[in-house]
Structure 1
Amino acid sequence: MDESDGAGSVDAVHRMFQSIREEVERDRILREELYNVVRELENSNREMLTILQKTHSSPTKPVAEVAAVRKEIKDCVKAYVRQLADRIKPNVYYKHHEIYRYALQRLAFITMFASFLEEGELLDRPSVAHELDLKVDANAGFHLDLEDYLFGVLNLASELTRYAVNAVTAGDYARPFQIAAFVKNVDEMFRLLNMKNDALRRRFDVLKYDVQKCEQVVFDLAIRGLKPSQPTPSENVEG
């Protein structure tokens, strides 16, 4: 092999690694941009959670809190979702999933919690995605992943369990029965799933304690003669 062949080989290797370096740098810049957007999204999540936590002290009148959450979603959250969607192509969604998955799980939970307080029903995944201007089809790029939605449902069940206890303190004896039926139904539906995700399965294991807590609350109400005479609305999980 003459010297020109050797030089050509060195040049080819140099070009290859230069291309790799540029790709790594583009990826670094993208990740930094994603982290910046997610940081802002998490700030909105915390603000909305703070608002919704106030409903625990006055669980019978959550109208103002729900309206404030919907305003935050409209004014801020949807813009952050669009910024993420603009940066994420279908082939890299799961490559960077760990950056935004927890923010989306929390956002799904917040959306479902606000809706449950208002309507007394569980939003299905397409409805949650629609509320947030997200897609459900993985081929569309940035979307609401099924497991992220399910984490949101489990977080909702835990939050509502605490809400049921506070409802009793506030003198709302119908709401705990509605929540108990809901949490039990969620537990039954999850048992039908063949969950491959270890983290999701571990999170589901906590649900049995939520079911037990709700059962204890409604049992105490029943033996005190405080069970509502009429069936509570929306006791079934929809979607």
Structure 2
Amino acid sequence: MPKPTDLEKFPRPGVTVDLAILTVTGATDTNPELHLLVQDRTDHVGRALPGGFIRERWTVARTVADVLRRKVGIESTAAAHPRLLRVFDDPDRDDRTWAISVAHSVSMRESELANAQGDLVRVTHDGHLVGEGPLLFDHNQIVATAVGNLRERYEFRYRYVDIYPDPDGFLPEPFTLHQLRKVHEAVVGEELHKDNFNRRMKPFLEPLVRNGEQVLSENLRGRPATLYRVATRG
């Protein structure tokens, strides 16, 4: 079927994919912190999120995998969880050309980013990046959207449905309730009430059992505590 010739009359923007890659550093330690990957750009000098234009006849998903592989140095596997944030379409967002961004967030464990190209920058409680000036384009808006989206998944206060322990899987299993709470606090950016947190999380956890007995933590500060795994959702 021939292409309708009138479609050629409409100008077409470039379409990019930009990735806000988030992790919790020191997830099993006493002071975990939320971090985000930032890179140096040479095609437009400055600091920015990893990203790239969608090539002709490519899908968004293929471009996400390509950016992870070429720009970040990570193969797209089940360990990466790209989530569509939204489309950023301000006509003036890129002074080089008319471009819209299909922005995603990607949550990964710190160990999976060991060889990533770029810098892991700490995210403050109010969502700013420590030691960073304004990012290129509208990437600060993408960061704010990604951090807000992540925090909604980890916030349990004032919510009674869709509450899960460490939903993005930053914390390796097994873990203690203390470690789990500290990861949630690192993401949310605030301290959480210990007893309330434990009460809300326990229904979604199962203790680690070996030879019919619950396994306790070792080599951690304080007295040994029960180790847990996330229970399988029925």
Which structure: greater strand fraction?
Answer: 2
TM score, norm. by length of structure 2:
0.35
TM score, norm. by length of structure 1:
0.34
Which structure: greater helix fraction?
Answer: 1
